[in-house]
């Protein structure tokens, strides 16, 4: 969506990533805004421009090309197989397939490449009318025209787990984000004008490795199996479409299926469901407590005018592909560079961009003797 703020300021050169976006068509405002945002309607053109630059400098982009195997010999990567039929050989391979390429994790595991389980977070999207959030944040009955749609950021501790808002989208849309049939996953985005009548935010509970005991038979894939089980349970409760289960926020807390739901930006549509029962108790119970705490911090937030929508499950990767701190290379596979969110080293556009810069530099260093 192009919300470009990050908490990982120490990981690399944020300004360089921002300038690259400006050079490829983003407004220069992002260089000075406190909460820079490009917008889902503007991003495709910018990404296309970045692709043109890559091609201009000799890079190639292969569409419809799925990596289906890794060529590994004597502890070193030799390339990849694409679409089960063509081999691309290389001295170095950067793997940046994102946090939802589950097939890649299973493939690596099957090939004996070491992976690690990693904590992440899981929960719901909560959608309010934007004017309600504006009233709370600006203390104005109606937002002045010059003011942008307002946002919020909330966090609290419930027992020993953090619960926090994530990827808040003022004037935004809740969108379907499943990557395989048979699952319900939602996410959020906004157009650059942030002018939809709704405000939504991921609201998630930290999932630590000790929470995954019931999935222990899945070994390092326990977190992934937990994530998948929630996504599939929500899908199985529905009518086989991408309609998402939802509940008024107050009904979610009271444990009651909503007689009717509030309007929503979610285009496939919502249906009333007992999310308080469908979500695992470890998640639902903490969310139910947290939203009441959020209501005390932000008067008006805990409102029957808000919908809870399931499920926000892809906040970050449940798996890490371990790499050496200095060389950025997998500790056991020479020439193999896991990068970005799917490798567990980023959470968002800017941190993934900075990780990309660091890995690119590491690959250059690794290849220097070969290129000489």
DSSP string, 57-77: TT----TT--EEEEEEETTEE
Regarding 196 and contact with ligand FAD (CB under 6 A), the answer is no
Regarding 194 and contact with ligand FAD (CB under 6 A), the answer is no
Q: Which of the ranges 132-140, 207-215, 302-310, 338-346 carries the binding residues for ligand FAD, by CB under 6 A? A: 338-346
- Where do we find the tokens 């939504």? 200
> Which run of H or of E encompasses 47?
helix 43-56
Between residues 106 and 302, which has the closer beta carbon with respect to ligand FAD?
Answer: 106
Structure token pair of residue 232: 């599939």
Between residues 179 and 241, which has the closer beta carbon with respect to ligand FAD?
Answer: 179
Q: Which of the ranges 119-127, 257-265, 294-302, 346-354 carries the binding residues for ligand FAD, by CB under 6 A? A: 346-354
Nearest to 256 by CA among 304, 206, 316, 208: 304
Angle between helices 349-371 and 14-23 (to 10 degrees): 90
3-state helix, strand, coil in the chain (%, to 5): 35, 25, 40
User: In whole angstroms, how close is the CB of 209 to ligand FAD at the nearest point?
Assistant: 22
Regarding 97 and contact with ligand FAD (CB under 6 A), the answer is yes
Cross-sheet strand order for the sheet of 270-272:
155-158, 161-169, 198-207, 120-129, 307-312, 244-248, 270-272
Regarding 349 and contact with ligand FAD (CB under 6 A), the answer is yes
User: In whole angstroms, how close is the CB of 96 to ligand FAD at the nearest point?
Assistant: 5
Regarding 101 and contact with ligand FAD (CB under 6 A), the answer is yes
Regarding 96 and contact with ligand FAD (CB under 6 A), the answer is yes
Structure token pair of residue 142: 């109606």
Q: Which of 165, 187, 247, 307 binds ligand FAD (CB under 6 A)?
A: 187
Regarding 172 and contact with ligand FAD (CB under 6 A), the answer is no
> Which run of H or of E encompasses 104?
helix 102-110
Regarding 46 and contact with ligand FAD (CB under 6 A), the answer is no
The binding site for ligand FAD (CB under 6 A) comprises 1-3, 66-67, 96-98, 101, 104, 167, 175, 177, 187, 189, 340-342, 346, 348-350, 352
């Amino acid at each position: 969506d192009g919300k470009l703020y990050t908490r990982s300021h120490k990981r690399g050169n944020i300004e360089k990533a921002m300038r690259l976006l400006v050079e490829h068509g983003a407004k220069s405002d992002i260089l000075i805004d406190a909460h820079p945002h490009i917008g889902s309607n503007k991003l495709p053109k910018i990404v296309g421009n970045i692709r043109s630059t890559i091609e201009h400098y000799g890079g190639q982009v292969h569409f419809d090309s799925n990596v289906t195997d890794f060529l590994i010999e004597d502890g070193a990567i030799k390339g990849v197989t694409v679409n089960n039929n063509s081999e691309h050989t290389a001295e170095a391979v950067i793997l940046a397939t994102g946090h939802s390429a589950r097939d890649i994790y299973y493939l690596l595991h099957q090939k004996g490449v070491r992976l690690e389980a990693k904590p992440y977070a899981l929960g719901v999207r909560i959608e309010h009318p934007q004017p309600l959030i504006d009233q709370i944040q600006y203390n104005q009955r109606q937002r002045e025209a010059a003011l942008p749609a307002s946002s919020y950021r909330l966090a609290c501790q419930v027992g020993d787990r953090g619960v926090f808002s994530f990827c808040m989208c003022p004037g935004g849309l809740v969108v379907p984000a499943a990557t395989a049939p048979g699952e319900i996953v939602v996410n959020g985005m906004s157009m650059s004008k942030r002018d939809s009548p709704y405000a939504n935010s991921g609201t998630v509970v930290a999932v630590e490795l000790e929470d995954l005991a019931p999935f222990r038979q899945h070994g390092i894939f326990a977190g992934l199996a937990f994530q998948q089980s929630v996504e599939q349970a929500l899908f199985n409760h529905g009518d086989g479409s991408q309609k998402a289960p939802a509940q008024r926020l107050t009904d979610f807390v009271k444990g009651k299926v909503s007689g009717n739901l509030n309007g929503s930006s979610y285009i496939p549509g919502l249906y009333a469901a007992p999310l308080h029962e469908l979500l695992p108790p470890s998640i639902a119970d903490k969310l139910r407590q947290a939203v009441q705490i959020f209501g005390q911090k932000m008067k008006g937030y805990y409102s029957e005018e808000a919908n809870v929508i399931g499920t926000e499950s892809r906040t970050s990767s449940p798996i890490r592909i371990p790499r050496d701190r200095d060389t950025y290379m997998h500790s056991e596979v020479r020439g193999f560079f896991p990068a970005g969110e799917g490798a567990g080293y980023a959470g968002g556009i800017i941190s993934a961009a900075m990780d990309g810069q660091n890995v690119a530099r590491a690959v250059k260093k690794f290849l220097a003797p070969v290129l000489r």
